[in-house]
Amino acid sequence: MAKREQRAPLLEIGVQGGMLHKKHNVYLDYVGVAKVPEEYEERLTEMFAGAFKHLRICALDPYDLALSKLYRNIQRDRDDVKHLGRAIPLRLEILKERYEKELRWQLGNPEREDLTLKLWMEMIEEERSRAVQ
């Protein structure tokens, strides 16, 4: 994540086919604004710590990652959340609590996202019950 004034120079050298990509086989894509829980930064996990001199790569906590997909809610997002529900496995009470305390107030139509979260939680429970059978 980069501040607006830092984004253009990063993307200039980091685009696919650009200097960074040619030298290190890594490129950057700009991703539009995602709604994430308010305190996500406190839960970031640094990946490859110390591997790069001028770059820190951090990953969202699994609950923050799932909740970042709530607003868009396309099929790929639902598939990702199902996978997180199985692989982590997500504790639904934590997911709901974090949504209510840190994300809901940011959303333009929170009633719609309330329903989406309810459906996601049912989807995860259904996936879990299938796995047990």
Q: What is the pLDDT of residue 1?
A: 56
- Counting the structural domains of the chain, the total is 2
- Domain of residue 71: give its range: 62-132
The answer to whether residue 13 sits within a structural domain is yes
Q: What is the pLDDT of residue 20?
A: 84
The answer to whether residue 50 sits within a structural domain is no
* 66/117 same-domain check: yes
* 79/119 same-domain check: yes
Q: What is the pLDDT of residue 76?
A: 94
pLDDT in tens, 64-106: 999 999 999 999 999 999 999 999 999 999 999 999 999 999 9
How would residue 2 be classed by pLDDT, with cut points 50, 70 and 90?
A: low
Q: What is the pLDDT of residue 4?
A: 67
- Closest of 122, 131, 45, 57 to residue 87, by C-alpha: 131
Q: What is the pLDDT of residue 3?
A: 65
The answer to whether residue 38 sits within a structural domain is no
Buried b or exposed e, range 13-38, using 16+ CB within 10 angstroms: ebeeeeebeeeeeebbeeeeeebbbe
Q: Would the pTM of this model clear 0.85, i.e. be above it?
A: no
The answer to whether residue 127 sits within a structural domain is yes
Please give the share of the chain, as a percent, with pLDDT higher than 90: 61
Biggest CA-to-CA distance, the chain: 53
* 122/78 same-domain check: yes
* 12/70 same-domain check: no
* 21/74 same-domain check: no
Residue of 52 and 45 predicted with greater confidence: 45
The answer to whether residue 43 sits within a structural domain is no
Q: What is the pLDDT of residue 42?
A: 96
The answer to whether residue 55 sits within a structural domain is no
